[in-house]
Chain A
Amino acid sequence: MTQTLLPVALANYVGLSAVIFFIGVAGVMLRRNPLVMLMSIELMWNAANLLFLAFARAWMNDAGHIFAFLVITVAAAEAAIGLAIVVAVFRTARNVDVDEVALMKG
């Protein structure tokens, strides 16, 4: 039996995703700890992923799953690189406050 109905309307998923995304945005803007900023970026990645999967399910299209898979991979790479940068900055500056670290300031 072909059943295409979502558990709830698609707009609810979009709204939930938007709320999570902007919580992540607020985290990046408000926090000065780079670790928490990276975690907020992870929240944003996941909000986008939720949208991909909701639309894939609503439109019965596998492409959303493929793209969500790519997003997870890129998010993993981003987290690894970001944390390596945090460690490298901490080694040189002994400080990880993003407002205090101004190595690249001209």
Chain B
Amino acid sequence: MILFWGLAIVLIGSAVWVVAAKKPVHSVVGLLLHFAALAILYLSLSAEFLAVVQIIVYSGAILVLFLFVIALLSSGVAPFSMGPNRMPKAAVPAAILALIALGLFVYGVSRGVPAHPVPIAAAAPVGPVGAPGVFGSVADFGRALFTANLLPFEITAFILMVAVVGVVLLAGDAAPYVPSRKRARRAEREMREAALRGGDTQ
């Protein structure tokens, strides 16, 4: 319980830091702290595989990607302004909207969080971390992922492939799909000549 409240404070504080930091690099550091605390919280929820995935995928891959992009954009000829960059006019309405939405959410939750919908007597026991047969263990997660949920897993692979192709198309070359004017003109001329030849033979 102390763990939960301590982590809650860290999570909220680092989230505020992410949003309020002046430099994006500081936001990344806040996000790193956030993800680390979240991984510990996942462990306390006996989701050990996802805690590890959280560290590897988020802290290891996504944050590094953010850092690379920040470095790339900051090293260009025209370093873009990394200032506070806030919209003073929109701040108050946005904060009010967010608070209203949060209030609605809290009201909805306060009317009762759904309890166990099914009897859970047959559920796997919660025990020491890592033992197979224990709820949330890597073995059980893997079995669930590769048997009953194989199709979502395969769809995941497809999503990642599409993302990779999309990223290469978007950022791999300066303008991958726009043919040069010379090439376009040549193609047009060839098409016209082909049409003329076709007209001659008829």
Chain A contacts to B: CB under 8 angstroms: 1-4, 6-8, 10-12, 14-16, 18-20, 22-27, 29-33, 35-36, 38-40, 42-43, 46, 49-50, 53-54, 56-63, 65-66, 68-70, 72-81, 83-88, 90-91, 94-97, 99
A24 with B109, Cβ < 8 A, contacts A36-B24, A79-B65 known? no
A87 with B62, Cβ < 8 A, contacts A11-B113, A18-B105, A80-B163 known? no
A22 with B18, Cβ < 8 A, contacts A31-B85, A83-B66 known? no
Q: Does B1 contact A (CB under 8 A)?
A: yes
B109 nearest CB across to chain A (Å): 5
B183 nearest CB across to chain A (Å): 20
Determine chain B's interface SS by DSSP, over half rule. Answer: helix
Would you call B38 and A39 a contact (CB within 8 A)?
A: no
A85 to B69, CA, bound (A): 11
A88 to B167, CA, bound (A): 10
Would you call A4 and B123 a contact (CB within 8 A)?
A: yes
A52 nearest CB across to chain B (Å): 9
Residue of B nearest to A54 (CB): B45
For B, the interface residue count at a CB cutoff of 8 angstroms equals 91
A86 to B117, CA, bound (A): 44
Would you call A62 and B140 a contact (CB within 8 A)?
A: yes
Determine chain A's interface SS by DSSP, over half rule. Answer: helix
A35 with B50, Cβ < 8 A, contacts A11-B109, A11-B113, A14-B109 known? no
The contact sample of 19 A-B pairs, CB cut-off 8 A, is A2-B121, A4-B116, A12-B4, A14-B113, A19-B102, A23-B19, A27-B18, A29-B94, A30-B95, A32-B85, A50-B38, A65-B141, A66-B152, A69-B49, A73-B160, A80-B164, A81-B163, A81-B170, A86-B73
A4 with B47, Cβ < 8 A, contacts A39-B28, A39-B66, A66-B152 known? no
Q: Does B57 contact A (CB under 8 A)?
A: yes
Contacts of B4 in A (CB 8 A): 7-8, 12
A20 with B15, Cβ < 8 A, contacts A14-B109, A50-B41, A77-B162 known? yes
Contacts of A46 in B (CB 8 A): 34-35, 38, 58
A35 with B66, Cβ < 8 A, contacts A69-B145, A91-B174 known? yes
